[in-house]
Structure 1
Amino acid sequence: MAGNTSTPGATVTSRLLAIVGAFDERHRSLTLSELAHRAGLPVPTTHRLAGELVAGHALQRRKDGRFEVGRLLWDAGLLAPVEGRLRQVAEPYLHDIYAATTATVHLAIREGTEVLYLERMMGSTSVPIVSSVGSKLPMHCTGVGKVLLAYAPEEIQEHVFANLIRVTPYTIVARPVLAAQIDRVRRDGLATTSEEMSLGACSLAVPVVRSSDDTVAAAIGVVVPSLRRDRQRLLGALQVAARGIGRSL
Structure 2
Amino acid sequence: MTAARLTALFTAFRPGDGFLGTSELARRTGMPKSSAHRLLGHLVRQGLLERRDGSVRLGLKLFEVGQVAIGQRGLADAARPYLADLREATRNTVHLAILEGTEVVYLDITRGPDAPVLPSRIGGRFPAHATAVGKAILAHSPEDVVETVISAGLPRIGPRTLTAPGLLRRQLAKVYEEGTAYDREESGPGVVCVASPVLDNSGLARAAISISGWSTRVRVERVAPAVRTTALTLSRTLP
Same fold (TM over 0.5): yes
The percentage of aligned residue pairs carrying the same residue is: 35
Instruction: Give the CA deviation at 1:45.
Output: 3.0
Which residue of the partner structure matches residue 105 of structure 1?
94
1:218 aligns with 2:207: yes
1:192 aligns with 2:165: no
Preserved contact between residue 192 and residue 205 of structure 1 (Cα < 8 Å): yes
Instruction: Give the CA deviation at 1:232.
Output: 4.2
Instruction: Give the CA deviation at 1:79.
Output: 8.9
1:209 aligns with 2:189: no
Instruction: Give the CA deviation at 1:125.
Output: 1.9
Q: Which has the larger radius of gyration?
A: 2
Instruction: Give the CA deviation at 1:155.
Output: 2.2
> May I ask how many residue pairs the two structures share in their alignment?
189
Q: 1:197 to 1:14 in 2, by over 3 A?
A: closer
Preserved contact between residue 98 and residue 107 of structure 2 (Cα < 8 Å): yes
Q: Secondary structure at the match of 2:215?
A: coil
Alpha-carbon distance between aligned partners in 2 of 1:83 and 1:159, rounded to the nearest angstrom: 22
Q: Secondary structure at the match of 1:132?
A: coil
Q: TM-score, normalised by structure 2?
A: 0.70
Alpha-carbon distance between aligned partners in 1 of 2:127 and 2:118, rounded to the nearest angstrom: 14
Preserved contact between residue 78 and residue 84 of structure 1 (Cα < 8 Å): no
- The C-alpha deviation readout for 1:134-193, integer Å capped at 9, x for no partner, is 011101000001111112232221121131111123211111111111111111111001
Partner amino acid, structure 1, of 2:174: R
- The C-alpha deviation readout for 1:65-104, integer Å capped at 9, x for no partner, is xxxxxxxxxxxx8993321111111111001100110111
1:152 aligns with 2:145: no
Segments of 4+ in structure 1 off by > 6 A?
none
Report which stretch shifted further, 150-159 or 172-181.
150-159
Runs of at least 5 residues in structure 1 that lack an aligned partner in the other structure: 6-12, 20-43, 50-76
Preserved contact between residue 128 and residue 199 of structure 1 (Cα < 8 Å): no
CA RMSD, 1 decimal: 3.0
Alpha-carbon distance between aligned partners in 1 of 2:168 and 2:117, rounded to the nearest angstrom: 23
Partner amino acid, structure 1, of 2:149: V
Task: Identify, as 1 or 2, the structure richer in helix.
Answer: 2
Runs of at least 5 residues in structure 2 that lack an aligned partner in the other structure: 13-29, 37-65
Alpha-carbon distance between aligned partners in 2 of 1:142 and 1:170, rounded to the nearest angstrom: 11
Q: Secondary structure at the match of 2:129?
A: coil
